[in-house]
Amino acid sequence: MDTREIIETLKNYYWERSHVGLEGEEYKPELDALENCAFFAVLKTLSKEELEEAKWMLYDHLMPLTFMVFKALEPDKYNVYIKNESISNLLKRFENKKSKRVVESRKEILRRYPYQDYTIQKKIIKAFLSSNSVADREWAAIEADRRWDKSFVDSIKSAYEKKATEKVAITYIRNLPIEDVKANEESLVMLSRTEFCIRMKDNADHYIHKYDLSIFEYLYVKARIGKKPDLTDIQVERRFFRHIYIFAQKALMQVDGDYTSITQIPWLRRALWALGELGYRDLVMKFLEFNKWVVNSFVYDSKIALFSYAQRWISDNYFPNILISESIDWNKILSKIETITHPRSIKIDSLKDLDEYDDLPPNVIETLSDFM
């Protein structure tokens, strides 16, 4: 058999392992270990010239077979697990971008990482924090936060200066000296205002007000710092469901992304965790009642139906007079708005000081926010 016949035979064997799904979708098979061994044994019998020919026959067609051909041509290059190689040598190759062994060194280092002692783990974390790869630095930032040591300070600062990402910023906020965190307040808050408020726990209320945290973020911060909210139970409950109502309205208008489910509401899961930590059991049970009613009220075929039902439940249970309420002192609210000269976010937050705020229907809050 010549090279073409050999490759065609392997291709046919591979595709005969495929099958067709219920909807006509063709599934690519996976060869088992024995078949992989047999395929590779066949390829090893080919000369370098024949392998080059086979490479172009398969190129960008059958990736598993293509990879086998490449591995047969250059076995050392595709030997991912470097046996008996010390971590220090792997780190040298990883840090030397001209070594051409960065990818396999990274994979081997990460494979061994959990089994190293803390001294070696710290070296690995520092090496990855200095990497040019954002993914490497973010992985290392998470590990540094979990296994914090003062020796990481300079490496975290350097990683943050290279590219300030949320994961690096969170480690920076949680672990660096408070003076450094305050000095970089503006950029850090843009990446994680909740973590910033948590770090400033002795003065958290000031920063919660300053950065106008949503009720979900507010509850999460309070749970993390171990303090009860400065709100009554009914205020927490109304604001919690009003936040969901306003999100549903934005979703229906396709504002801030294409959402299709209640579970996609930003911070909802963390807010539910916070409610549990803060002891709001009845509110969590009410949310489960709400979610069950929404899910069971219609056939899942339209996000319009989903969010419309969500709004209906909330308005029926909390804001029956959804358009206007005679009990609200509108003159007081309007005069409050007119005397405010702060940025829009502070204006909305200032309204929360009014006694009437918790009686305002969510669509009214949303309308007022549009004019402020």
Indicate the residue type of 240: F
More confident call, 143 vs 86: 143
**Using an 8 Å Cβ cutoff, are 360 and 369 in contact?**
no
- pLDDT tens column, 319-336: 654 444 444 454 455 444
Q: Of 227-241, 243-257, 355-369, give the range with the top mean pLDDT.
A: 227-241
Dist CA 196 CA 204 (whole Å): 9
Mean pLDDT of 77-95: 74
Q: CA 69 to CA 319: how far, in whole Å? A: 67
- Whether the model clears a pTM of 0.75, i.e. scores above it, the answer is no
Nearest-angstrom CA–CA distance, 60 and 173: 45
Residues 6+ apart with CB under 8 A from 274: 216, 219, 220, 222, 223, 224
Distance CA 50, CA 324 (A): 81
Position with higher pLDDT, 44 vs 77: 44
CB count within 10 Å of CB 204 equals 20
Res 19 pLDDT > 60 = no
32 contact partners, CB below 8 Å, separation of at least 6: none
Residues 6+ apart with CB under 8 A from 313: 290, 293, 294
The burial of 303, by beta-carbon neighbours within 10 Å (0-12 exposed, 13-18 middle, 19 or more buried), is given as middle
* Residue 125's pLDDT band (cuts 50, 70, 90): very high
- How far apart CA 292 and CA 92 sit, in angstroms, is 56
Q: First and final CA of the chain: distance in angstroms? A: 79
Tell me, what's the pLDDT at 32?
Answer: 67
**CB 356: neighbour CB atoms within 10 A?**
15
Q: 27 has which bridge partners? A: 19
